[in-house]
Structure 1
Amino acid sequence: MKFISWNVNGLRACLKKGFLDFYQEQKPDFCCLQETKMEQGQADIDLGEGMLEYWNSAEKKGYSGTAVFTPHQPLSVRYGMGKEEHDHEGRLITLEYEKFYLVCCYTPNSQNELKRLDYRMEWEDALREYLMELDKTKPVIYCGDLNVAHREIDLKNPKTNRMNAGFTDQEREKMTTLLSSGFTDTFRFLYPDLEGVYSWWSYRFSARKNNAGWRIDYFIISDRLQNAIKRAEILTQVEGSDHCPVLLELDI
Protein backbone atom coordinates (compact mmCIF):
# COMPACT_ATOMS: atom_id res chain seq x y z
CA MET A 1 0.00 0.00 0.00
CA LYS A 2 1.19 3.48 -0.86
CA PHE A 3 0.68 6.36 1.54
CA ILE A 4 1.43 10.02 0.80
CA SER A 5 1.36 12.93 3.23
CA TRP A 6 1.66 16.56 2.17
CA ASN A 7 1.25 19.93 3.82
CA VAL A 8 -0.20 21.73 0.81
CA ASN A 9 -0.24 25.19 2.49
CA GLY A 10 -3.67 25.93 1.06
CA LEU A 11 -5.17 23.24 -1.17
CA ARG A 12 -6.89 25.74 -3.46
CA ALA A 13 -3.50 27.31 -4.20
CA CYS A 14 -1.84 23.91 -4.60
CA LEU A 15 -4.53 22.83 -7.09
CA LYS A 16 -3.33 25.66 -9.33
CA LYS A 17 0.25 24.40 -9.03
CA GLY A 18 -0.23 20.83 -10.24
CA PHE A 19 -1.70 18.95 -7.28
CA LEU A 20 -4.06 16.84 -9.41
CA ASP A 21 -1.30 15.92 -11.87
CA PHE A 22 0.84 14.78 -8.95
CA TYR A 23 -2.06 12.82 -7.46
CA GLN A 24 -2.86 11.01 -10.71
CA GLU A 25 0.82 10.26 -11.29
CA GLN A 26 1.24 8.70 -7.85
CA LYS A 27 -2.23 7.17 -7.39
CA PRO A 28 -1.68 6.52 -3.69
CA ASP A 29 -3.94 4.29 -1.63
CA PHE A 30 -4.08 7.10 0.91
CA CYS A 31 -3.36 10.80 0.41
CA CYS A 32 -3.18 12.69 3.70
CA LEU A 33 -3.16 16.48 3.53
CA GLN A 34 -2.44 19.15 6.09
CA GLU A 35 -3.05 22.91 6.11
CA THR A 36 -5.86 22.59 3.58
CA LYS A 37 -7.18 26.06 4.60
CA MET A 38 -10.60 25.25 3.18
CA GLU A 39 -13.81 23.28 3.64
CA GLN A 40 -15.04 20.46 1.45
CA GLY A 41 -16.83 21.83 -1.61
CA GLN A 42 -14.93 25.11 -1.81
CA ALA A 43 -12.97 23.86 -4.83
CA ASP A 44 -13.52 21.40 -7.66
CA ILE A 45 -11.30 18.41 -6.90
CA ASP A 46 -11.65 15.66 -9.51
CA LEU A 47 -9.91 12.64 -7.99
CA GLY A 48 -11.64 10.06 -10.16
CA GLU A 49 -14.49 7.63 -9.68
CA GLY A 50 -14.95 5.89 -6.37
CA MET A 51 -12.74 8.20 -4.33
CA LEU A 52 -13.71 8.92 -0.73
CA GLU A 53 -12.92 12.24 0.92
CA TYR A 54 -12.65 12.91 4.64
CA TRP A 55 -12.25 16.51 5.79
CA ASN A 56 -11.63 18.10 9.17
CA SER A 57 -11.70 21.87 8.75
CA ALA A 58 -10.90 24.43 11.41
CA GLU A 59 -13.68 26.54 12.85
CA LYS A 60 -11.57 29.58 11.88
CA LYS A 61 -11.97 30.12 8.14
CA GLY A 62 -8.92 29.68 5.92
CA TYR A 63 -6.82 28.20 8.71
CA SER A 64 -5.23 24.82 9.42
CA GLY A 65 -7.35 21.82 8.36
CA THR A 66 -6.70 18.22 7.29
CA ALA A 67 -8.10 15.87 4.65
CA VAL A 68 -7.65 12.26 3.55
CA PHE A 69 -8.46 10.97 0.05
CA THR A 70 -8.71 7.20 -0.50
CA PRO A 71 -10.60 4.57 -2.49
CA HIS A 72 -10.63 2.29 0.58
CA GLN A 73 -13.78 2.34 2.73
CA PRO A 74 -12.82 2.57 6.42
CA LEU A 75 -14.49 0.70 9.25
CA SER A 76 -14.80 3.96 11.17
CA VAL A 77 -13.77 7.62 10.99
CA ARG A 78 -12.91 9.93 13.86
CA TYR A 79 -12.29 13.67 13.72
CA GLY A 80 -10.10 15.06 16.49
CA MET A 81 -9.01 13.14 19.58
CA GLY A 82 -12.13 13.64 21.68
CA LYS A 83 -10.68 16.44 23.79
CA GLU A 84 -12.49 19.77 23.74
CA GLU A 85 -9.32 21.85 24.05
CA HIS A 86 -7.72 20.21 21.00
CA ASP A 87 -10.58 19.67 18.54
CA HIS A 88 -11.42 23.13 17.14
CA GLU A 89 -8.63 23.55 14.58
CA GLY A 90 -9.21 20.58 12.26
CA ARG A 91 -5.88 18.98 13.03
CA LEU A 92 -6.61 15.27 13.25
CA ILE A 93 -8.38 12.57 11.21
CA THR A 94 -8.30 8.87 12.13
CA LEU A 95 -9.44 6.15 9.72
CA GLU A 96 -9.81 2.62 11.05
CA TYR A 97 -9.16 -0.40 8.84
CA GLU A 98 -9.04 -4.11 9.53
CA LYS A 99 -5.27 -4.21 10.02
CA PHE A 100 -4.36 -0.66 11.10
CA TYR A 101 -5.37 2.83 12.10
CA LEU A 102 -4.33 5.71 9.83
CA VAL A 103 -3.88 9.03 11.64
CA CYS A 104 -3.41 12.26 9.63
CA CYS A 105 -2.13 15.11 11.80
CA TYR A 106 -1.23 18.77 11.51
CA THR A 107 0.63 19.56 14.73
CA PRO A 108 0.25 23.08 16.17
CA ASN A 109 3.21 25.38 15.58
CA SER A 110 4.81 26.87 18.69
CA GLN A 111 4.91 30.23 16.83
CA ASN A 112 7.15 33.27 17.13
CA GLU A 113 8.63 33.86 20.55
CA LEU A 114 7.29 30.38 21.44
CA LYS A 115 4.02 31.94 22.52
CA ARG A 116 2.17 28.67 21.89
CA LEU A 117 4.81 26.30 23.25
CA ASP A 118 2.91 25.53 26.47
CA TYR A 119 -0.18 24.58 24.45
CA ARG A 120 2.01 22.55 22.10
CA MET A 121 3.32 20.54 25.07
CA GLU A 122 -0.25 19.78 26.17
CA TRP A 123 -1.11 18.72 22.61
CA GLU A 124 1.92 16.42 22.40
CA ASP A 125 1.05 14.63 25.64
CA ALA A 126 -2.60 14.20 24.65
CA LEU A 127 -1.71 13.02 21.15
CA ARG A 128 0.83 10.49 22.41
CA GLU A 129 -1.73 9.12 24.84
CA TYR A 130 -4.26 8.91 21.98
CA LEU A 131 -1.84 7.03 19.70
CA MET A 132 -0.82 4.63 22.45
CA GLU A 133 -4.46 3.86 23.15
CA LEU A 134 -5.07 3.08 19.46
CA ASP A 135 -1.93 0.97 19.37
CA LYS A 136 -3.35 -1.31 22.05
CA THR A 137 -6.00 -2.43 19.54
CA LYS A 138 -4.10 -2.55 16.24
CA PRO A 139 -1.00 -0.99 14.63
CA VAL A 140 -0.94 2.74 13.89
CA ILE A 141 0.28 4.63 10.82
CA TYR A 142 0.68 8.24 11.96
CA CYS A 143 1.62 10.93 9.46
CA GLY A 144 1.67 14.63 8.79
CA ASP A 145 3.38 17.93 9.35
CA LEU A 146 4.53 17.37 12.92
CA ASN A 147 6.31 20.74 13.13
CA VAL A 148 9.52 19.46 14.69
CA ALA A 149 12.97 18.63 13.38
CA HIS A 150 13.90 15.80 15.70
CA ARG A 151 17.66 15.59 15.30
CA GLU A 152 20.37 18.02 14.26
CA ILE A 153 20.67 16.25 10.89
CA ASP A 154 16.99 17.04 10.29
CA LEU A 155 17.65 20.68 9.47
CA LYS A 156 20.31 22.64 7.63
CA ASN A 157 21.29 25.05 10.40
CA PRO A 158 20.78 23.44 13.81
CA LYS A 159 23.12 25.74 15.74
CA THR A 160 21.40 28.99 14.76
CA ASN A 161 17.88 27.53 15.06
CA ARG A 162 18.17 25.96 18.50
CA MET A 163 15.21 27.07 20.63
CA ASN A 164 13.33 28.43 17.61
CA ALA A 165 9.84 27.02 17.02
CA GLY A 166 10.18 23.50 15.67
CA PHE A 167 13.63 22.95 17.12
CA THR A 168 13.23 23.61 20.81
CA ASP A 169 14.60 21.12 23.30
CA GLN A 170 11.05 20.59 24.56
CA GLU A 171 9.57 19.72 21.16
CA ARG A 172 12.44 17.41 20.28
CA GLU A 173 12.12 15.68 23.63
CA LYS A 174 8.41 15.03 23.01
CA MET A 175 9.31 13.32 19.72
CA THR A 176 11.94 11.24 21.50
CA THR A 177 9.33 10.24 24.08
CA LEU A 178 6.85 9.23 21.37
CA LEU A 179 9.44 7.12 19.56
CA SER A 180 10.33 5.48 22.87
CA SER A 181 6.68 4.52 23.37
CA GLY A 182 6.52 1.85 20.67
CA PHE A 183 6.77 3.89 17.47
CA THR A 184 9.24 4.18 14.57
CA ASP A 185 10.25 7.11 12.36
CA THR A 186 10.15 5.28 9.03
CA PHE A 187 12.55 7.56 7.15
CA ARG A 188 15.20 7.32 9.86
CA PHE A 189 14.62 3.58 10.15
CA LEU A 190 15.82 3.19 6.55
CA TYR A 191 18.25 6.12 6.50
CA PRO A 192 19.54 6.61 10.07
CA ASP A 193 22.37 9.00 9.19
CA LEU A 194 21.34 10.55 5.86
CA GLU A 195 21.81 14.30 5.83
CA GLY A 196 20.58 17.09 3.56
CA VAL A 197 17.09 15.69 2.85
CA TYR A 198 14.33 18.01 4.00
CA SER A 199 10.57 18.44 3.58
CA TRP A 200 10.06 22.16 4.28
CA TRP A 201 11.85 25.31 3.16
CA SER A 202 11.08 28.92 4.04
CA TYR A 203 9.84 31.07 1.19
CA ARG A 204 12.51 33.60 2.22
CA PHE A 205 16.22 33.81 1.40
CA SER A 206 16.03 31.37 -1.54
CA ALA A 207 15.89 28.60 1.05
CA ARG A 208 14.65 25.88 -1.30
CA LYS A 209 17.17 26.78 -4.00
CA ASN A 210 19.93 26.54 -1.40
CA ASN A 211 18.38 23.48 0.27
CA ALA A 212 18.32 25.28 3.62
CA GLY A 213 15.45 23.18 4.86
CA TRP A 214 13.92 21.23 7.73
CA ARG A 215 12.56 17.66 7.89
CA ILE A 216 9.30 18.19 9.76
CA ASP A 217 6.93 15.91 7.80
CA TYR A 218 6.83 12.28 8.91
CA PHE A 219 5.43 8.81 8.65
CA ILE A 220 5.61 7.19 12.07
CA ILE A 221 4.40 3.64 12.58
CA SER A 222 3.93 1.15 15.38
CA ASP A 223 7.19 -0.71 15.94
CA ARG A 224 5.61 -4.03 14.97
CA LEU A 225 5.12 -2.77 11.41
CA GLN A 226 8.87 -2.25 10.86
CA ASN A 227 9.21 -5.40 8.77
CA ALA A 228 6.42 -4.16 6.49
CA ILE A 229 8.34 -1.06 5.36
CA LYS A 230 9.14 -1.21 1.63
CA ARG A 231 9.91 2.47 0.90
CA ALA A 232 10.09 5.70 2.85
CA GLU A 233 10.95 8.73 0.75
CA ILE A 234 10.83 12.51 0.80
CA LEU A 235 9.77 13.74 -2.65
CA THR A 236 11.92 16.86 -2.71
CA GLN A 237 11.45 17.43 -6.44
CA VAL A 238 7.68 17.99 -6.08
CA GLU A 239 6.72 21.66 -5.89
CA GLY A 240 3.38 23.35 -5.21
CA SER A 241 3.87 24.23 -1.53
CA ASP A 242 6.63 25.28 0.86
CA HIS A 243 6.55 21.61 1.93
CA CYS A 244 7.10 18.63 -0.33
CA PRO A 245 5.21 15.33 -0.04
CA VAL A 246 6.54 12.39 1.94
CA LEU A 247 5.85 8.81 0.89
CA LEU A 248 5.59 5.45 2.63
CA GLU A 249 5.01 2.03 1.11
CA LEU A 250 4.04 -0.84 3.37
CA ASP A 251 3.48 -4.52 2.62
CA ILE A 252 0.31 -4.73 4.67
Structure 2
Amino acid sequence: MRIATVNVNGIRAAARKGMAAWLETGAPDVLLLQEVRADADTAAALLPGYHSLIWPSRIRGRAGVGVAVRDGGPLTLGRARRGVADGGEEPDVDSGRWLEVELEPADGAGAGGGAAALAAPGAGLAVGGLTVVSAYLHAGRVGTPKLGEKLAHLALVDARMARLLAGARAGGRQVIMAGDLNVVRSERDIKNWRSNHNRVSGVLDVEIEHLEGWFSSGWVDVTRALNPRTQGPYTWWSQRGRAFDNDAGWRIDYQVATPTAASRALAVRVDRAGAYDERWSDHAPLVVDYAD
Protein backbone atom coordinates (compact mmCIF):
# COMPACT_ATOMS: atom_id res chain seq x y z
CA MET A 1 0.00 0.00 0.00
CA ARG A 2 1.47 3.33 -1.07
CA ILE A 3 0.50 6.48 0.84
CA ALA A 4 1.59 9.90 -0.39
CA THR A 5 1.13 13.28 1.23
CA VAL A 6 1.74 16.64 -0.40
CA ASN A 7 0.96 20.30 0.12
CA VAL A 8 -0.17 21.24 -3.39
CA ASN A 9 -0.02 25.02 -2.77
CA GLY A 10 -3.33 25.44 -4.60
CA ILE A 11 -4.63 22.46 -6.55
CA ARG A 12 -5.55 24.49 -9.65
CA ALA A 13 -2.00 25.77 -10.02
CA ALA A 14 -0.56 22.34 -9.25
CA ALA A 15 -2.69 20.79 -11.98
CA ARG A 16 -1.52 23.38 -14.51
CA LYS A 17 2.11 22.72 -13.62
CA GLY A 18 2.13 18.93 -13.91
CA MET A 19 0.59 17.26 -10.87
CA ALA A 20 -1.35 14.79 -13.04
CA ALA A 21 1.85 13.39 -14.55
CA TRP A 22 3.23 12.74 -11.07
CA LEU A 23 -0.02 11.03 -10.03
CA GLU A 24 0.07 8.76 -13.07
CA THR A 25 3.70 7.81 -12.50
CA GLY A 26 3.62 7.46 -8.72
CA ALA A 27 0.12 5.95 -8.51
CA PRO A 28 -0.33 6.22 -4.74
CA ASP A 29 -3.15 4.11 -3.35
CA VAL A 30 -3.94 6.85 -0.84
CA LEU A 31 -3.28 10.54 -1.43
CA LEU A 32 -3.38 13.13 1.36
CA LEU A 33 -3.58 16.74 0.23
CA GLN A 34 -3.02 20.04 1.99
CA GLU A 35 -3.51 23.67 1.00
CA VAL A 36 -6.03 22.59 -1.63
CA ARG A 37 -7.63 26.05 -1.78
CA ALA A 38 -10.63 24.86 -3.81
CA ASP A 39 -14.08 23.42 -3.28
CA ALA A 40 -14.72 19.68 -3.37
CA ASP A 41 -16.08 19.54 -6.93
CA THR A 42 -13.19 21.56 -8.36
CA ALA A 43 -10.62 19.42 -6.58
CA ALA A 44 -12.28 16.17 -7.64
CA ALA A 45 -12.20 17.23 -11.30
CA LEU A 46 -8.44 17.76 -11.00
CA LEU A 47 -7.79 14.29 -9.54
CA PRO A 48 -8.56 11.92 -12.44
CA GLY A 49 -8.51 8.29 -11.39
CA TYR A 50 -9.17 9.10 -7.74
CA HIS A 51 -12.20 9.29 -5.47
CA SER A 52 -11.75 12.17 -3.04
CA LEU A 53 -13.15 13.83 0.04
CA ILE A 54 -12.19 17.49 0.51
CA TRP A 55 -12.73 19.78 3.49
CA PRO A 56 -12.27 23.38 2.31
CA SER A 57 -11.48 26.21 4.67
CA ARG A 58 -14.32 28.56 5.52
CA ILE A 59 -11.90 31.38 4.65
CA ARG A 60 -11.89 31.64 0.87
CA GLY A 61 -8.52 30.97 -0.73
CA ARG A 62 -6.99 29.49 2.42
CA ALA A 63 -6.01 26.02 3.61
CA GLY A 64 -8.20 23.05 2.65
CA VAL A 65 -7.32 19.38 3.16
CA GLY A 66 -8.30 16.22 1.36
CA VAL A 67 -8.03 12.44 1.24
CA ALA A 68 -8.24 10.52 -2.04
CA VAL A 69 -8.06 6.84 -2.93
CA ARG A 70 -7.12 5.40 -6.30
CA ASP A 71 -9.98 4.05 -8.40
CA GLY A 72 -9.60 0.29 -8.66
CA GLY A 73 -7.17 0.29 -5.74
CA PRO A 74 -7.30 -1.78 -2.55
CA LEU A 75 -9.18 0.78 -0.44
CA THR A 76 -12.29 2.92 -0.44
CA LEU A 77 -13.28 5.96 1.59
CA GLY A 78 -15.42 5.28 4.63
CA ARG A 79 -16.73 7.58 7.31
CA ALA A 80 -14.90 10.80 8.02
CA ARG A 81 -14.49 13.47 10.64
CA ARG A 82 -13.54 17.08 9.97
CA GLY A 83 -11.81 19.19 12.58
CA VAL A 84 -9.61 18.39 15.51
CA ALA A 85 -11.66 19.89 18.35
CA ASP A 86 -14.11 17.81 20.34
CA GLY A 87 -17.46 19.54 20.65
CA GLY A 88 -18.45 22.83 19.08
CA GLU A 89 -17.31 24.57 15.93
CA GLU A 90 -13.67 25.46 15.50
CA PRO A 91 -12.69 29.03 14.63
CA ASP A 92 -12.57 29.82 10.93
CA VAL A 93 -8.77 29.95 10.93
CA ASP A 94 -8.70 26.29 12.00
CA SER A 95 -11.17 25.10 9.35
CA GLY A 96 -9.85 23.04 6.46
CA ARG A 97 -6.86 21.84 8.46
CA TRP A 98 -7.70 18.39 9.85
CA LEU A 99 -9.60 15.59 8.10
CA GLU A 100 -9.82 12.03 9.43
CA VAL A 101 -11.08 9.31 7.09
CA GLU A 102 -11.65 5.62 7.72
CA LEU A 103 -10.30 3.44 4.93
CA GLU A 104 -12.17 0.25 4.08
CA PRO A 105 -11.15 -2.73 1.91
CA ALA A 106 -12.43 -2.28 -1.61
CA ASP A 107 -14.08 -5.71 -1.54
CA GLY A 108 -15.28 -5.57 2.08
CA ALA A 109 -17.84 -3.81 4.24
CA GLY A 110 -18.25 -0.19 3.33
CA ALA A 111 -16.93 -0.66 -0.20
CA GLY A 112 -18.40 0.98 -3.22
CA GLY A 113 -16.75 4.39 -3.33
CA GLY A 114 -19.33 7.11 -3.66
CA ALA A 115 -19.68 9.89 -1.15
CA ALA A 116 -18.13 9.46 2.27
CA ALA A 117 -20.20 11.04 5.03
CA LEU A 118 -18.60 13.81 7.06
CA ALA A 119 -19.27 13.29 10.75
CA ALA A 120 -19.92 16.25 12.98
CA PRO A 121 -16.87 17.52 14.89
CA GLY A 122 -16.28 15.22 17.85
CA ALA A 123 -18.15 12.25 16.38
CA GLY A 124 -16.60 8.87 17.10
CA LEU A 125 -15.00 6.57 14.53
CA ALA A 126 -15.63 2.86 14.13
CA VAL A 127 -13.32 0.31 15.72
CA GLY A 128 -10.80 -1.73 13.69
CA GLY A 129 -8.91 -1.06 10.45
CA LEU A 130 -6.98 2.03 9.41
CA THR A 131 -7.77 5.72 9.69
CA VAL A 132 -5.74 8.35 7.84
CA VAL A 133 -5.55 12.01 8.75
CA SER A 134 -4.67 14.81 6.35
CA ALA A 135 -3.29 17.64 8.48
CA TYR A 136 -2.28 21.17 7.53
CA LEU A 137 -1.04 22.94 10.64
CA HIS A 138 -0.64 26.70 10.86
CA ALA A 139 2.54 28.32 9.57
CA GLY A 140 2.52 31.02 12.25
CA ARG A 141 4.63 34.14 12.33
CA VAL A 142 6.74 35.40 15.20
CA GLY A 143 5.56 38.70 16.66
CA THR A 144 2.02 38.42 15.24
CA PRO A 145 -1.28 36.84 16.36
CA LYS A 146 -0.62 34.05 13.85
CA LEU A 147 1.83 32.42 16.26
CA GLY A 148 -0.81 32.34 18.97
CA GLU A 149 -3.27 30.75 16.54
CA LYS A 150 -0.70 28.11 15.70
CA LEU A 151 0.05 27.25 19.31
CA ALA A 152 -3.64 27.10 20.24
CA HIS A 153 -4.29 24.72 17.35
CA LEU A 154 -1.26 22.61 18.28
CA ALA A 155 -2.71 22.17 21.77
CA LEU A 156 -5.92 20.80 20.24
CA VAL A 157 -3.89 18.50 18.02
CA ASP A 158 -1.99 17.23 21.09
CA ALA A 159 -5.25 16.21 22.73
CA ARG A 160 -6.60 14.54 19.60
CA MET A 161 -3.35 12.65 19.01
CA ALA A 162 -3.47 11.32 22.56
CA ARG A 163 -7.01 10.05 22.04
CA LEU A 164 -6.19 8.42 18.70
CA LEU A 165 -3.15 6.67 20.17
CA ALA A 166 -5.13 5.45 23.17
CA GLY A 167 -7.80 4.07 20.85
CA ALA A 168 -5.23 2.19 18.78
CA ARG A 169 -3.64 0.71 21.89
CA ALA A 170 -7.06 -0.44 23.09
CA GLY A 171 -7.57 -2.45 19.91
CA GLY A 172 -9.20 0.23 17.80
CA ARG A 173 -8.17 1.66 14.45
CA GLN A 174 -4.53 2.14 13.58
CA VAL A 175 -3.80 5.69 12.42
CA ILE A 176 -1.47 7.39 9.97
CA MET A 177 -1.52 11.17 10.37
CA ALA A 178 0.27 12.91 7.53
CA GLY A 179 0.68 16.34 6.08
CA ASP A 180 2.35 19.70 6.30
CA LEU A 181 3.01 20.24 10.00
CA ASN A 182 5.01 23.45 9.52
CA VAL A 183 7.51 22.48 12.24
CA VAL A 184 10.95 20.90 12.01
CA ARG A 185 12.26 18.67 14.80
CA SER A 186 16.01 19.31 14.87
CA GLU A 187 19.00 20.56 12.95
CA ARG A 188 18.74 17.47 10.71
CA ASP A 189 15.44 18.80 9.36
CA ILE A 190 16.57 22.19 8.05
CA LYS A 191 19.60 23.33 6.08
CA ASN A 192 20.09 26.60 7.98
CA TRP A 193 19.31 25.64 11.58
CA ARG A 194 21.49 28.15 13.37
CA SER A 195 20.13 31.26 11.64
CA ASN A 196 16.50 30.15 12.07
CA HIS A 197 16.34 28.40 15.45
CA ASN A 198 14.14 30.32 17.89
CA ARG A 199 13.94 33.20 15.43
CA VAL A 200 11.53 31.94 12.76
CA SER A 201 8.21 30.15 13.16
CA GLY A 202 8.58 26.46 12.44
CA VAL A 203 11.94 26.34 14.20
CA LEU A 204 10.85 27.50 17.66
CA ASP A 205 11.38 25.27 20.69
CA VAL A 206 7.83 26.09 21.84
CA GLU A 207 6.55 24.49 18.61
CA ILE A 208 8.99 21.60 18.49
CA GLU A 209 8.03 20.46 21.99
CA HIS A 210 4.54 19.62 20.76
CA LEU A 211 5.86 17.19 18.14
CA GLU A 212 8.38 15.70 20.54
CA GLY A 213 5.54 15.09 22.97
CA TRP A 214 3.76 12.96 20.38
CA PHE A 215 6.85 10.90 19.66
CA SER A 216 7.76 10.38 23.31
CA SER A 217 4.22 9.10 23.91
CA GLY A 218 4.53 6.39 21.25
CA TRP A 219 3.75 7.94 17.87
CA VAL A 220 6.37 7.19 15.21
CA ASP A 221 7.94 9.63 12.75
CA VAL A 222 8.07 7.20 9.82
CA THR A 223 10.69 9.10 7.83
CA ARG A 224 13.04 9.21 10.82
CA ALA A 225 12.35 5.58 11.74
CA LEU A 226 13.52 4.52 8.27
CA ASN A 227 16.29 7.16 8.00
CA PRO A 228 17.54 7.66 11.56
CA ARG A 229 20.83 9.38 10.75
CA THR A 230 20.33 11.26 7.48
CA GLN A 231 20.16 15.00 6.94
CA GLY A 232 16.66 15.67 5.65
CA PRO A 233 15.20 14.54 3.35
CA TYR A 234 13.75 18.01 2.88
CA THR A 235 10.19 18.45 1.64
CA TRP A 236 9.83 22.24 1.28
CA TRP A 237 11.99 25.00 -0.19
CA SER A 238 11.35 28.73 -0.10
CA GLN A 239 10.37 30.33 -3.40
CA ARG A 240 12.85 33.10 -2.68
CA GLY A 241 16.43 33.16 -3.88
CA ARG A 242 18.06 29.89 -4.91
CA ALA A 243 16.79 27.79 -1.99
CA PHE A 244 15.71 24.91 -4.22
CA ASP A 245 18.85 24.89 -6.36
CA ASN A 246 21.02 24.95 -3.22
CA ASP A 247 18.80 22.38 -1.46
CA ALA A 248 18.33 24.84 1.41
CA GLY A 249 15.17 23.08 2.48
CA TRP A 250 13.07 22.14 5.48
CA ARG A 251 11.58 18.78 6.46
CA ILE A 252 8.10 19.87 7.54
CA ASP A 253 5.96 17.22 5.81
CA TYR A 254 5.51 14.03 7.81
CA GLN A 255 3.83 10.66 8.03
CA VAL A 256 3.23 10.01 11.72
CA ALA A 257 1.91 6.56 12.60
CA THR A 258 0.74 4.49 15.52
CA PRO A 259 3.36 1.83 16.33
CA THR A 260 1.62 -1.08 14.60
CA ALA A 261 1.06 0.94 11.42
CA ALA A 262 4.63 2.26 11.53
CA SER A 263 5.99 -1.28 11.80
CA ARG A 264 4.54 -1.97 8.33
CA ALA A 265 6.53 0.84 6.68
CA LEU A 266 8.93 -0.55 4.08
CA ALA A 267 10.41 2.46 2.30
CA VAL A 268 10.13 6.23 2.20
CA ARG A 269 11.06 8.73 -0.48
CA VAL A 270 10.61 12.40 -1.33
CA ASP A 271 9.66 13.00 -4.96
CA ARG A 272 11.81 16.09 -5.39
CA ALA A 273 11.62 17.66 -8.84
CA GLY A 274 14.72 17.39 -10.96
CA ALA A 275 14.89 21.15 -11.57
CA TYR A 276 13.28 24.33 -10.27
CA ASP A 277 11.11 24.82 -13.35
CA GLU A 278 9.78 21.23 -13.10
CA ARG A 279 8.14 21.81 -9.72
CA TRP A 280 4.36 21.94 -9.43
CA SER A 281 4.40 23.00 -5.76
CA ASP A 282 6.86 24.51 -3.33
CA HIS A 283 6.56 21.19 -1.43
CA ALA A 284 7.58 17.77 -2.72
CA PRO A 285 5.42 14.68 -2.16
CA LEU A 286 6.41 12.42 0.73
CA VAL A 287 5.72 8.81 -0.24
CA VAL A 288 5.76 5.75 2.03
CA ASP A 289 5.20 2.14 1.01
CA TYR A 290 3.58 -0.04 3.68
CA ALA A 291 3.23 -3.82 3.77
CA ASP A 292 -0.34 -4.92 3.10
Q: Shared fold by TM > 0.5?
A: yes
Q: Could you say what secondary structure the match of 2:156 adopts?
A: helix
Q: Could you say what secondary structure the match of 2:266 adopts?
A: strand
Q: Could you say what secondary structure the match of 1:131 adopts?
A: helix
Q: Is 2:146 aligned against 1:146?
A: no
Instruction: Letter of the 1:59 partner, please give it.
Output: R
Question: How far has the Cα of 1:219 moved from its partner?
Answer: 0.4
Aligned twin of 2:157: 127
Q: Could you say what secondary structure the match of 1:74 adopts?
A: strand
Question: How far has the Cα of 1:131 moved from its partner?
Answer: 2.3
Confirm or deny: 8 A CA contact 1:57 1:65 kept in the other structure.
yes
Confirm or deny: 8 A CA contact 2:175 2:258 kept in the other structure.
yes
CA distance in 1, matches of 2:221, 2:251: 12
Query: TM-score, normalising length from structure 2?
Result: 0.81
Aligned twin of 2:123: none
Query: TM-score, normalising length from structure 1?
Result: 0.93
Structure 1, residues 68-121: CA drift from partner, whole Å, max 9, x if none? 111432331111124423565201111113521100000011125353222222
| Identical columns (%) | 29
CA RMSD of aligned residues (A): 1.7
Aligned twin of 1:79: 82
CA distance in 1, matches of 2:33, 2:262: 23
Question: How far has the Cα of 1:46 moved from its partner?
Answer: 4.8
Gap change, CA 1:211 and 1:46, over 3 Å in 2: closer
Gap change, CA 1:218 and 1:102, over 3 Å in 2: same
Question: How far has the Cα of 1:192 moved from its partner?
Answer: 1.1
Instruction: Letter of the 1:85 partner, please give it.
Output: E
Aligned twin of 2:288: 248
Q: Is 2:55 aligned against 1:56?
A: yes
Confirm or deny: 8 A CA contact 2:11 2:46 kept in the other structure.
no
Aligned twin of 1:102: 132
CA distance in 1, matches of 2:154, 2:290: 26
Gap change, CA 1:46 and 1:157, over 3 Å in 2: closer
Instruction: Letter of the 2:129 partner, please give it.
Output: K
Gap change, CA 1:171 and 1:77, over 3 Å in 2: same
Confirm or deny: 8 A CA contact 2:131 2:176 kept in the other structure.
yes
Q: Could you say what secondary structure the match of 1:123 adopts?
A: helix
Confirm or deny: 8 A CA contact 1:10 1:36 kept in the other structure.
yes
Question: How far has the Cα of 1:124 moved from its partner?
Answer: 1.5
Give the number of the structure whose alpha-carbon radius of gyration is greater: 2
Structure 1, residues 134-162: CA drift from partner, whole Å, max 9, x if none? 23122110000000011111000111001
Which deviates further from its counterpart, 20-29 or 111-120? 111-120
Aligned twin of 1:231: 267
Structure 1 runs not aligned, ≥5 long: none
CA distance in 2, matches of 1:142, 1:86: 21
CA distance in 2, matches of 1:243, 1:151: 19
Q: Is 2:197 aligned against 1:162?
A: yes
CA distance in 2, matches of 1:70, 1:229: 18
Aligned twin of 2:9: 9
Moved beyond 6 Å, runs of 4+: none
Confirm or deny: 8 A CA contact 2:12 2:46 kept in the other structure.
no
Gap change, CA 1:139 and 1:56, over 3 Å in 2: same
Aligned twin of 2:48: 47
Question: How far has the Cα of 1:122 moved from its partner?
Answer: 2.1
Question: How far has the Cα of 1:37 moved from its partner?
Answer: 1.1
Confirm or deny: 8 A CA contact 2:9 2:36 kept in the other structure.
yes
Question: How far has the Cα of 1:196 moved from its partner?
Answer: 4.6
Confirm or deny: 8 A CA contact 2:3 2:287 kept in the other structure.
yes
CA distance in 1, matches of 2:164, 2:40: 27
CA distance in 2, matches of 1:75, 1:201: 34
Gap change, CA 1:108 and 1:179, over 3 Å in 2: same
CA distance in 1, matches of 2:146, 2:59: 17
Instruction: Letter of the 2:190 partner, please give it.
Output: L
